[in-house]
Structure 1
Amino acid sequence: MSLGLIFAWGSFDHGGGGPAKREAQRVGLPPPDEVPAQLEVAAPAEILSLLLTRNAMPAQPVLLYGSPDRAQAVAASLLRGLPTSNLVHELNALGLALLPRNGGRTLLREPGKEGVGLGSYLLVPGGAPVLLQAPHSDTDLDTGRILDFLLVEGNFASGAWNSVPRAFEADGGRVNADLTRAPVSFFNSFGLAFAEVHPEGLVVQIHGHAREKRRSAEGRSASVIVSSGTHEPSAQARAVANCLAATMPEETVRLFPEEVCELGATINTNGRALRAAGFSGFVHLELSRELRWKLVAEAGLRARLAACLRPL
């Protein structure tokens, strides 16, 4: 057996096994503990997803400690590979712990068992200049798993996940911790730092959509909706859409707004902040429930997706 780690789908599911199984039954696909029962892959020294969604939620999320500019500067130093010993104190002040991992990887996460909303981050030395984001990994089922796989198999430079759900009940009220709507968050500062260090790179944000909730026939038929968060597609978004359409001919790929007029991420605060900083490499993907199941189960399909998520 290799030194890779065993992913046991039956033991964990983003958002809980109940919702995942009900969704699987609805679309006629196998539940997560059957897709497959076990799969061995080369990965860091822990299942990343297990670190992301906590059992206890804060009454009020804290999406950033300190100033966003300072958070961006510290994250940029980390992404540039500066000695981590010089950054530990500042990261701790930001509420984050730095954990070295196998193969030179670095995991950045909140210490303890209770998440507050800062998020979790993986840095992979020598990876392609792409930041993969799953800001709704608990509710957009399997998007966190897909990122886990892509980071391991696709050799991308960095990954980012939410650490608490985008919305939850606490103290008798509904709490909003959506990282794609908050104008200030460490998640946002990390993305801006990545764009600063890799100005020609990509920030690819992966979401999940339900076809039956779409307003248009184009949306209901879409396996993937690609956008740049703008009403004129960027060259990067167009290139990703064209590549996916060519390498996944069995799937329906649509580019916003030319081929579909919904789920274009035009109010996504992460994309807006990146564009305001002069970065044009933000690409937003909406994956159907059926395609997410396939990506979890099929390494070949994941490889085709990964091949399209590269800078121009």
Structure 2
Amino acid sequence: MGRKLEGLQRMLVIINRLKGPQQYVPREELENYIAHRMEERDGSPVDLRTLQRDFNEIEELFGIRICFDKQRKGYFINEEDSLKQEQYDRLLLNFDLLNAIDRTSNLHTYVLAEHHRPMDYECLPLLIKAIRFSHPVAFNYIYIREGGKIREKKVLPHYLKEDQQRWYLLAYDNGTLKTFSANCIRNLRIINEETFRRNMDIDVEELFKDSYGIWNQTDIPVEEIELSYDALDGSFLRSVPLHHSQEILTDNEEEFRICLRLRITNDFVMALLARSRSLTVIKPMRLREWVKKVYEEALKRNA
């Protein structure tokens, strides 16, 4: 196993142990746990010096600070630096899977991984660093909807948000909070000689509560939406809701009917079309006409 891969696996083992129900983990207990888990992965023994180096790298890479409580004689994760549980679990799941696949084992014979590496991942480390240390960033931004027109931007980065396997930057552009697709950022550079005071009062959950995906166009009203499907499509929508506001109105052998409350954007309509085999838009009528128009134009093109 390569040193870099082994070190990453060891760091994830440490995080996984310290995020458990036991608040303080004694040094010997943590060392034994790491040694046992790394032995399963054909790793090397770990000493105190290696452990401390791992703690430093964990803080640098993940922003997770591991401390030692002398009174309780145990290690713990500083709650101020811990990630939200959903993000935490996703990070550990993704890295554990990737690490397992990278090992010289036969796991590839029963796990089929997607090998495509999206371009937008390349700028994430720099963006994370800029956000963490409150530095502005400058970049060239490609406006896809304007025929690929490029504009130079200088913004104050605040958050990274993932949606539909793509990453987006939330940043203040001339005093207005905007969303930038990481996939459209080019020539990114951190302006290290400048700093700004990060706005920690942004309610990110509230910001996207009424939107589908990343686009929260406040000039579009929030509307009540009612959709009808057959039982087969309903089985999928029951397990993977279209939106967090989804409520089930009817669920039987003939019909699966739901209501939602959100802004009707192009992204939302595209999501509806992705599972539209049995879709009937009950309301609002303008959404029904929108879907109808898309299909009429598609029929003309493919007649």
Give the TM-score, by structure 2 length. 0.30
Larger radius of gyration: 2
**Which has a greater percent of strand?**
2
Give the TM-score, by structure 1 length. 0.29
Q: Which has the higher contact order (CA 8 A, sep 6+)?
A: 1
**Which has a greater percent of helix?**
2
